[in-house]
Homo-oligomer: A and B are copies of this chain.
């Protein structure tokens, strides 16, 4: 761990959520919405998705102050059938739009067995797993797809940046075991991870990015000079494209040429598109039987014979769950450089620092 990555403080999830919501209120967001966004962003840090949590607060604020985000959106259903809805986010925070979309998907899946809700005029909503996990509380499977908010990926063999990290998340409930939760960019690394490396002053491992001649790019501060690599070569290119079509094009949201770089342009409406699907295993048969079968799969995988040198076989979502449990007890570790950034940000918008925010 580099000097800059050493945690400067540990912060409870509630305190972190309060700090974030206070900041959004100070920026003009209605208190109930600010509380929702604060809670979801803090949940991201709590599960170790540190590229998608409080680290994003200053850039969200910058967008709000530039007039690039609607603080009083009329989030509404624009199209609807029994098994689907298209939610118009009216350029509100993505966290609000996709929480709403998840609720609708769950309610419709209860009737239809499955339901799909897309969004347009949404915004960055944090880690995909936050939303894929929402159906779990209703004993449902969640799937989530999103168009990334900046193009860092060309077509396979191409150089024009027309695709993004377009993530896929899936959450499957278990009985006694921890739910399986997969959350993955269709690129080898998510761009949030590149930004975290830059913020921490660390180099990237080979395989995350290449430059325009195909040579490995290791310095995250030079990220603009190259592009992310898709998983599995042309397969990841195909997956990213399909996710973009399903989460973006289908909803009339930005995809391809229409995606603006939200790290550089804070004013233009992003027209972010996402999609969430809820599947009710109870429609396919006995729900307890299903969850017991998922437990069996989990236990079989965990009990696998292992390659030499491998201490443990992990299930997707298990490491996040471990972090969640540890950080709930010990607090969320925040590196010094992030705390300094947040302190300066708090001073700038006139709210108490994290340290001075009540537990």
A294 within 8 A of B: yes
Tell me the A213-260 residues at the B interface (CB within 8 Å): 213-214, 231-232, 234-239, 241-242, 244-246, 249-252, 255-257
Which one, B188, B300, B310, contacts A157 given CB within 8 A? B310
Contacts of A293 on B, CB cut-off 8 Å?
Answer: 249, 252, 255
Copies assembled: 2
Contacts of A244 on B, CB cut-off 8 Å?
Answer: 297
Which one, B156, B294, B306, B316, contacts A313 given CB within 8 A? B156
Q: Does B256 contact A290, Cβ atoms closer than 8 Å?
A: no
Contacts of A130 on B, CB cut-off 8 Å?
Answer: none
Q: A158-B305, A162-B300, A305-B160 are in contact. Are A285 and B242 (CB under 8 A)?
A: no
Q: In the docked arrangement, what's the CA distance between A154 and B302, Å? A: 11
A340 within 8 A of B: no
Which one, B84, B109, B170, contacts A283 given CB within 8 A? B84
Q: A182-B238, A238-B182, A256-B300 are in contact. Are A114 and B115 (CB under 8 A)?
A: yes
Contacts of A312 on B, CB cut-off 8 Å?
Answer: 157
A111 within 8 A of B: yes
A53 within 8 A of B: no
Contacts of A113 on B, CB cut-off 8 Å?
Answer: 80-84, 116
CB distance from A140 to the nearest CB of B (A): 11
Q: Does A242 contact B170, Cβ atoms closer than 8 Å?
A: yes
Q: Does A112 contact B300, Cβ atoms closer than 8 Å?
A: no
Contacts of A80 on B, CB cut-off 8 Å?
Answer: 113
Q: Does A231 contact B236, Cβ atoms closer than 8 Å?
A: yes
Residue of B nearest to A301 (CB): B155
Q: Per-residue CB proximity of A278-293 to B under 8 Å, as 1/0?
A: 0111011100011001
Q: Does B232 contact A297, Cβ atoms closer than 8 Å?
A: no
Q: Per-residue CB proximity of A98-140 to B under 8 Å, as 1/0?
A: 0000000000110111111010000000000000000000000
Tell me the A124-178 residues at the B interface (CB within 8 Å): 141, 154-160, 162, 168, 170, 172
Residue contacts A-B, CB under 8 angstroms, 6 given: A118-B284, A155-B304, A158-B304, A170-B246, A241-B315, A252-B289
Having A82-B111, A160-B303, one finds 13 other A-B pairs with CB under 8 Å, namely A81-B283, A83-B115, A141-B245, A156-B314, A157-B307, A172-B242, A172-B245, A182-B241, A184-B239, A249-B294, A249-B297, A250-B284, A252-B293
Q: Give residues in A with beta carbon < 8 Å to B.
A: 79-84, 86, 108-109, 111-116, 118, 141, 154-160, 162, 168, 170, 172, 180, 182, 184, 188, 212-214, 231-232, 234-239, 241-242, 244-246, 249-252, 255-257, 279-281, 283-285, 289-290, 293-294, 296-297, 300-301, 303-308, 310, 312-316
